[in-house]
Structure 1
Amino acid sequence: MISGLDTSAIISKLLTADAAPQTQLKTNVSAAQLKVTAYQSVNTKMSALQTAADNLSKATTWASAKATSSSDSVVATASSTAQPGSVTLDVRNLASGRSVISKDFYSATDTNAASDMGYPLDVVANGQIVGTVSPSRGTLSDVVSAINKATTLGITAVAVRVGDNQYRLQITSTKTGAQDGDFKLVPRNSDGTSAGVNGAQSTDFDNLTVAANAQAFIVGDGSSGSTSVPVSSPTNTFQELLSGVNVTASKTGVAKVTVAGDPSAVADAVGALVKAANDAVGEITTQSRPGAVGSDGKVVGGGTLRGDAILRQLKTSLLGTVTSALGNNVSPAQFGIQSTKDGELTFDKAKFLESYGKDPVAAQQLLAPKSVDTASTASGLVDRLSALAKSATDQYTGQLTTAITGQNTTISDLTKRIADWDDRLADRKVRYQKYYSSLETSLGKLQNQSSWLAGQLSKLG
């Protein structure tokens, strides 16, 4: 350059100074985005609180039942529809599927084993041909592999060693039950056509196990006049033996199955509610903590939403709701629900079980009256927490939702203003470039004039 000036650097610094308002806008966008994230984090905790409260609003949660068995050989499981009761079950036979074994012996290295077995064989089950076993060559291992790969056949095969290099082929149904666990192997006709579902089964196999249902009896206490009722199942699980109760047997024998209320499950649901409320309080505290003013005057350790009125009100309402008296002026502390001096919520399961055990119905009516009667106008702890969570998280009118929407609107507006500044700064850059280009041109002309004058003056001398 004629001037010797670094005009690119000058223009860059001028644009940086001009962009100060845009830089501030970008800072404001970042701050708003942090607030959105913080509000969303609190919203997630409040949504979890509503889920926990809604769970306790269901009658089925309070009706949780547990099934037990007097024998390790019988396992009972209860669903949410199970009702209290008991039954004594005498399991006489377990369910089985048919299993057969070949009459002939085969060596491990005999490559003619497959052809010697008379394949192909149709597999018939439930009155239809489900597939065909048709290895035409290979060893016994090849036959076993071919059968096991054909998973639609409903059978499995294994080579059983019965002597020195002597094996038999065992085939077993993959299912149990007199019908589902039965099958037959039917040789094809000499011309290769199928003998059909009524064809005679192969005589090359002996039965090991017949297909049979599990058999049991519901028995009384043995007193005069007591009777027994037979029950049957194609598997070892007796579905819905009692309403909502499945019973699975692993051995024969007698077991008493008892279904009773499960206070521990109810306590766990209440504990989950208190934990959700405590998690929400903790998140609000984290996001709104005031922090401390450092030596430079800046706040250190403060939350993104420090001093936020919405969070302050929400935390106060949460703590107040959990610790407020229930119906009949009963304190939640009676059920093990309390707040500490630090503003945290605690749950004592043993204390809850103690109070709940004295009168389960009264406890349910105090904590969640709508789980007893959906038309009830009473408002228990569960109902109040559910309503509070909904007022904060409702997708249209929730306090947190509205705050998030407001911040997103601000971000959208700031983003547009930032884009406007991009255009403005681009125009200024063009103007600066033209200005300095014109300046260099003018300086060039002056330099030329100066040189000409100097030449003229030298001639006069």
Structure 2
Amino acid sequence: MAISLDGLSSGLDTTALITTLMQAEAQPQTLLKAQVTSTTAEIAALQGLNTKLASLADLATSTAKKGALDLYAATSSSTALTATAAAGASAGELQVVVSALAQRQVGVSAAMATWPSPSTLTIVGHDGTPVEISPASSSLDDVVSAINAAGAGVTATKVASGTDASGTKLYRLQLSSTTTGAASSFTVYQGSAADVAAGTAVDVLAAPGSAIIKTAQDAKLTLWAGSSAEQEITSSSNTFTDLLPGVSVSVTATSTDPITVAVGRDVQQVSAVASKLVDALNQVFSTITSQSAVATTTAADGTTSVTAGVFSGDTTVRDINDKVINAASAPIDGHSPSEYGISITSSGTLTFDADKFAAALAADPATVNAALQTIASRVADVATTASDKYVGTLTGKITGDQSQVTRLNQQVADWDIRLASRKATLEKTYSSMEVTLSNLKAQQANLTSQLAALTTSTESS
């Protein structure tokens, strides 16, 4: 380690001198650091663009798939029935009458203070399978808990039912099936499963004072009512799945007059797909434009400086931008996308006219769907070629820039070692100079003293 003798003999500010010299020596490293900063900023911008291109590729690919635009909506002529169209639906119409709604079985027991002996009870489902339940006691609370924990497809609730002649509180058990439909019916017996099999168990809901409040039943639809083809279909719930291909209906009330279920092409859904594709395209264009913009700033002293965006002059990005624009705006079978409401502006972005698109779709759905899928297919090809995580052109550029930053950082680190060595050399050199000058000054003082002594001696003689 060099010892600092800053200006000891020379009077020079050697520390400042060395600092100035080192700044000059470090210019190549400073340029390298600036290049690291600019390349890192470019990588971040490229990654942002790549993400948007990858999203665009996914959206365009899904839009271009066969059947992706076969979107239909179902309507009902009555609030008693709601129709929903899903994948696989097609245009059509059907008239139905809601003959019955699905419901669960609900029954109440006779009024009681405690469960009668024996406390064991058995629930027999629609399929005849018995579930034997043994409550902890004859307490109605224990009976309710045991039924609810048994998994027999039945729930129990204790309901207050006044008092008897002696003032004892009475309760009824309300027993309900957990599901709807005819198959949710059940019978509750007082007694074991063996008693049920032997015919000696008591039917709780058939005993005096008890009642079936609701019977378990399926929902029923009558198709082509009044015709020779009249047919009834049932469902354990109030929903009929695939009544028509891809169309399900849910009923909330019975009807006497036929209800029309109609299925037609959903213009709004198809328009939404087209609008979403245009939005995704504009996000790509907007990113490129903002990162290519030139910024002008004015300093306090009035001088101005111009800074180019990270994409300015980037031929790879410009080529991608041109290809995406061409894919989105080029004619389809001699027809411009603007005929379908997708137009390119003077600024290089797209606009979507929903009304124009809807009108074109209503007039010729096959042609408009085919045109939209052609645009989507072309865009998907371009966006995928650019953003593919293995062989994408933009991906390759990002990888190349990342490798360059790694090399530049290594060069910066090498310069740290080189500059540290150079600074040590300068400090040693200037320290040696100060020591040499100090020694020379000491010799000069000594010689001056000796000469003065000789002169005095000569004069005395």
Q: TM-score range by the shorter chain?
A: 0.7 to 0.9
Partner Cα distance (1:259, 1:54) in 2: 27
What corresponds to 1:40 in structure 2? Answer: 47
Decide which moves more: 124-133 or 26-35. Answer: 124-133
Measure how far apart 1:434 and its partner are: 8.8
Quickly say closer, same or farther: Cα 1:156–1:26, change in 2 above 3 A.
farther
Offset at residue 68 of structure 1 (A): 0.8
Q: CA deviation at 1:214?
A: 1.3
Q: Greater CA deviation, 115-124 or 358-367?
A: 115-124
Task: Name the residue aligned to 2:456.
Answer: none
The 8 Å contact of residues 81 and 252 in structure 2, kept in 1 or not, is answered as yes
Structure 1 partner of 2:10: none
1:209 maps to a residue whose letter is K
Alignment of 1:365-404 (within 5 A): 365-368=370-373, 380-404=374-398
DSSP 3-state at the match of 1:321: helix
SS in 2 for 1:411: helix
Three-state SS of the structure 1 residue aligned to 2:249 is: strand
Pick one of 262, 266, 270 that aligns with 1:266. Answer: 270
For the residue of structure 2 that corresponds to 1:215, the secondary structure is: strand
Partner AA of 2:98 in structure 1: V
Q: Which residue of 1 aligns with 2:182?
A: 178
SS state of the match for residue 68, structure 2?
Answer: helix
1:17 CA displacement:
7.8
Q: Matches of 1:244 and 1:138 in 2, distance apart?
A: 51
* Alpha-carbon distance in structure 2 between the residues aligned to 1:197 and 1:319: 78
| Residue identity opposite 1:69 in structure 2 | S
Residue equivalent to 1:242: 244
Does 2:315 correspond to 1:309? Answer: yes
Rounded to whole Å, the distance in 1 between the matches of 2:4 and 2:239 is 98
Larger radius of gyration: 2
Aligned residue number for residue 220 of structure 2: 215
Return closer, same or farther for 1:103/1:297 CA change in 2, 3 Å cut-off.
same
Instruction: Describe the superposition over 1:327-356 as per-residue Cα deviations: whole angstroms up to 9, x where unpaired.
Output: 1x2221111111223332111111011122
The 3-state SS of whatever aligns with 2:137 is coil
1:333 and 2:334 aligned: no
TM-score (normalised: structure 1): 0.76
Alignment of 1:187-206 (within 5 A): 187=190, 189=192, 195=194, 203-205=203-205, 206=210
Aligned residue in 1 for 2:324: 318
Amino acid at match of 1:278: N
Q: Could you tell me which residue of structure 2 aligns to residue 285 of structure 1?
A: 289
1:360 equivalent in alignment to 2:365: yes
Counterpart in 2 of 1:158?
A: 157
2:87 corresponding residue in structure 1: 80
Query: Which runs of 5 or more residues in structure 2 are unaligned?
Result: 8-12, 164-168, 454-461
Give deviations 1:267-292, integer Å, cap 9, x for gaps: 22111111111111111111111222
Cα distance 1:417–1:217, how it changes in 2: closer, same or farther (>3 A)? Answer: same
1:175 Cα offset (Å): 0.8
Distance in 2, matches of 1:13 and 1:365, equals: 70
Q: 2:147 & 2:355 partners in 1: Cα distance? A: 57
* Alpha-carbon distance in 2 for matches of 1:343, 1:84: 39
Q: Is the 8 A contact 1:219 1:229 kept in 2?
A: yes
Give the counterpart of 2:401 among 401, 407, 415. Answer: 407
Tell me, yes or no, if the aligned pair for 2:344 and 2:351 is still in contact at 8 Å.
Answer: yes
Corresponding residue SS for 1:257: strand
2-structure distance, mates of 1:407, 1:151: 66
Normalized against structure 2, the TM-score is what?
Answer: 0.76
Residue 363 of structure 1 deviates from its aligned partner by 2.4
CA distance 1:316–1:121, change in 2 (3 Å): same
Q: CA deviation at 1:394?
A: 2.2
Q: Which amino acid aligns with 1:292?
A: T
Is the CA contact 1:129–1:196 (under 8 Å) kept in the aligned structure 2?
no
Alpha-carbon shift at residue 182 of structure 1 (Å): 2.8
Shift of 1:67: 0.9
After superposition, the C-alpha distances for 1:119-146 in whole angstroms (9 at most, x for unaligned) are 4545454554668463437664x66566
Q: Is the 8 A contact 1:34 1:304 kept in 2?
A: yes
Q: Is the 8 A contact 2:119 2:138 kept in 1?
A: no
* Cα RMSD, aligned residues only: 4.1
C-alpha distance in 1 between matches for 2:136 and 2:229: 54
Contact preservation (8 Å) 2:190, 2:204: no
Letter of the structure 1 residue corresponding to residue 319 of structure 2: Q
Contact 2:71/2:269 (<8 A) preserved: yes
> What is the match of residue 459 of structure 2?
none
Q: 1:437 to 1:242 in 2, by over 3 A?
A: same
1:228 aligns with 2:239: no
CA deviations over 1:67-110 (Å, ceiling 9, x no partner): 1111111111111201211111111111122222121245xxxx
CA distance in 2, matches of 1:406, 1:157: 70
CA distance in structure 1 between the aligned counterparts of 2:150 and 2:402, rounded to whole angstroms? 56
Q: For 1:430 and 1:138, locate their aligned partners in 2 and report how far apart those are by CA, in whole Å.
A: 95
Q: Distance in 2 between matches of 1:199 and 1:309?
A: 91
1:62 counterpart SS class? coil
